[in-house]
Amino acid sequence: MQNIDDVLRPFFATWTTSLLGSDLERLELMSDDSRIRALIETLVIQDECNALDPFAVPELPTPGSTYRIWPRDNAGIVIANEVGITELRRILSAKLLCPRTIIIRDYQIEPINMLLCEELADFRHLVREVPPTAAEPVPLAVLVRDVVDGARVDVESIVFRYVDPGYGFDSVLNSTLFRERYPDSSSVAGPKVKESVIKVNPAYEGGSTRFSMLRSANIQLGNEAEMYWLQHIFYISPELKTLELSLRNSADQHLEAGEVVPKLTNFSLHCTKISASDLLAMIAASKGSLTHITFQQVVLNNGSIWREVLTSIAKEYSVLASFDLRILRETNDGDPAVDFRDVRDEDIPEECRAGLELIRKGPAGNKRVTRLSYNGIDAGKVLGIIARLGYVPESFESGKRPT
| 7 part of a folded domain | yes
CB-based contact 53:113 (threshold 8 Å):
yes
> Is 376 a member of any domain?
no
What three-state secondary structure class fits 372?
Answer: strand
Buried b (16+ CB within 10 A) or exposed e, 129-159: ebeeebebbbbbbbbbbbbbeebbbbbbbbb
pLDDT of 181: 61
> Whole-angstrom distance between the N-terminal and C-terminal Cα of the chain?
79
| Rounded Cα–Cα distance for residues 305 and 271 (Å) | 17
**What are the phi and psi torsion angles at 63 (to 5°)?**
-55, 140
Q: Which amino acid is at 392?
A: V
Length of the chain: 403
Does residue 126 form part of some domain? yes
Range of the domain at 161: 1-200
- Reduce the DSSP state of residue 200 to 3 states and report it: strand
Q: Is residue 362 part of a domain?
A: no
Provide the number of structural domains found in the chain: 1
Tell me, what DSSP letter sits at residue 172?
A: -
Task: List strands edge to edge, sheet with 242-247.
Answer: 14-17, 42-45, 101-108, 192-200, 155-162, 216-221, 242-247, 266-275, 292-301, 322-330, 368-375, 356-361
Question: Is 106 among the domain residues?
Answer: yes
Residue 20 CB-half CA count within 13 A: 17
Q: Please tell me the distance from the alpha carbon of residue 382 to that of residue 325, in angstroms, as a whole number.
A: 13
Query: Is 12 among the domain residues?
Result: yes
Task: Split the chain (403 residues) into runs of 10 and give each run's mean pLDDT.
Answer: 61 91 94 89 93 77 84 87 94 93 92 77 76 62 91 93 65 50 61 91 83 93 82 94 87 83 97 92 97 95 89 96 95 79 89 93 82 96 92 44 46
On whether residue 263 sits in a domain, the answer given is no
Q: At what angle do helices 138-148 and 223-235 cross, to 10 degrees?
A: 50
pLDDT of residue 252: 62
Q: Is residue 70 part of a domain?
A: yes
pLDDT value, residue 170? 39
Q: What is the pLDDT of residue 207?
A: 78
